[in-house]
Amino acid sequence: MQGCAVLKSPPALDTFELSAPSISGPGGRSRSQILIADPSALKALDGQNIVIKTGPGVIQYLKGAQWADRLPKIVQARLADTYQKSGRFGGVGKPGEGLAIDYQVIVEIRAFDIKVDGTGRAQVELFVKLLNDRNGVVRTSRLFDATAPVTGSSNEAYVAALDSAFGKAAEEIVSWTESSI
């Protein structure tokens, strides 16, 4: 057959999701309603690629793997889940869900990567602002930086370390929010 080409489909990528940690321990119950705004991130983190850093300023992507959605969307959804599972707020939602909100949680994803420069660790760095939605004033802000060791060399091991680091940061963010409003 002339003119026919054999097209090979690319190999399927391992697709990963983050989990929402459960907050344990005592906590109050605020009547405040919280909106988890769309997180911002630099282009390298604003996609489905999983970032690997082999050295200072060197970014690569984990071969054969991807996030299930754009990373900011996953972070937003799992943060909202964590706030909801905590049971510490009157309401938690994302834009378009019709809440009469008191505070917006504004997140900037500054790091969400695996360091393979000899340290073998995941790093999640989230800068968070609590914005009073009634007057537009930032009530407080804080940088959350969490790490977790990588305990293997597979895609699953890398993502498990990122999930663990994210879980630590998410727990801290919810507790901090509760004590700040």
Question: What value does the mean pLDDT take over residues 31-45?
Answer: 95
pTM for the whole structure: 0.90
Q: What is the pLDDT of residues 82-97, one digit of tens each?
A: 999 999 999 999 999 8
Q: What is the pLDDT of residue 30?
A: 81
Write out pLDDT tens, residues 134-143: 999 999 999 9
Mean pLDDT of the region 53-79: 95
The letter for the amino acid at 11 is P
Q: Does residue 81 carry a pLDDT above 80?
A: yes
Domains, in order of start, for the chain: 36-180 (3.40.50.10610)
Mean predicted confidence (pLDDT) in 3-17: 74
Residue 14 has pLDDT above 70, yes or no: yes
